[in-house]
């Protein structure tokens, strides 16, 4: 799967256990705590009879209308310099329900544009693939 992270930067999301092209901050590595950014996050179902879900997220200060743990999301984003595609995958506890959707993010991090787009089999897989929090706002049914 290829994920667009910014207009001029493509990252291949590795299979579980594979090395990433740019690792997140390692233990003992200093990560700037004054990072800031904002994103418009959208989940778009393939089923066009169902509306897309969109939330806002801001870090430094933390806010927006995202219903998940915004502080945790901002810590994850800080560790990867705002590149959603580089957030380590969470252990997925997802059903095999087929409900294809596209996850999109557009915004900025420390003054630089950030974009993310990827297709997933369902909302749970989108959530797990991006660390368990970023796309944790899909409420279908």
Domain boundaries, the chain: 38-141
pLDDT tens for 98-115 read 999 999 999 999 999 999
User: Taking residues 78-107, what's their average pLDDT?
Assistant: 95
User: Taking residues 47-74, what's their average pLDDT?
Assistant: 96
Give the SS3 label for residue 129: helix
**Fold of the CATH domain 38-141:** Subtilisin Inhibitor (3.30.350)
Nearest to 129 by CA among 71, 79, 88: 88
pLDDT at 82: 97
pLDDT at 92: 83
Question: Where are any strands of DSSP class E within 7-111?
Answer: 9-12, 37-45, 53-59, 101-109
> Measured in whole angstroms, how far is the alpha carbon of residue 129 from the centre of its chain?
8
Give the highest mean pLDDT range of 30-39, 87-96, 97-106: 97-106
Q: How long is the chain?
A: 141
pLDDT at 32: 47
């Amino acid at each position: 799967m290829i994920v667009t992270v910014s207009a001029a930067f493509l990252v291949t999301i590795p299979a579980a256990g594979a090395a990433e092209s740019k690792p997140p901050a390692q233990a003992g590595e200093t990560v700037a705590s004054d990072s800031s950014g904002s994103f418009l996050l959208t989940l778009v179902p393939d089923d066009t009879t169902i509306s897309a879900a969109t939330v806002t997220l801001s870090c430094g200060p933390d806010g927006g209308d995202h219903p998940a743990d915004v502080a945790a999301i901002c810590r994850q984003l800080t560790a990867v310099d705002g590149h959603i595609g580089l957030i380590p995958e969470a252990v997925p506890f997802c059903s095999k329900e087929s409900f294809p959707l596209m996850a999109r993010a557009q915004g900025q991090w420390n003054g630089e544009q950030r974009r993310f787009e990827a297709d997933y089999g369902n909302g749970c897989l989108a959530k797990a693939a991006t660390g368990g929090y970023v796309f944790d706002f899909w409420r279908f049914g």
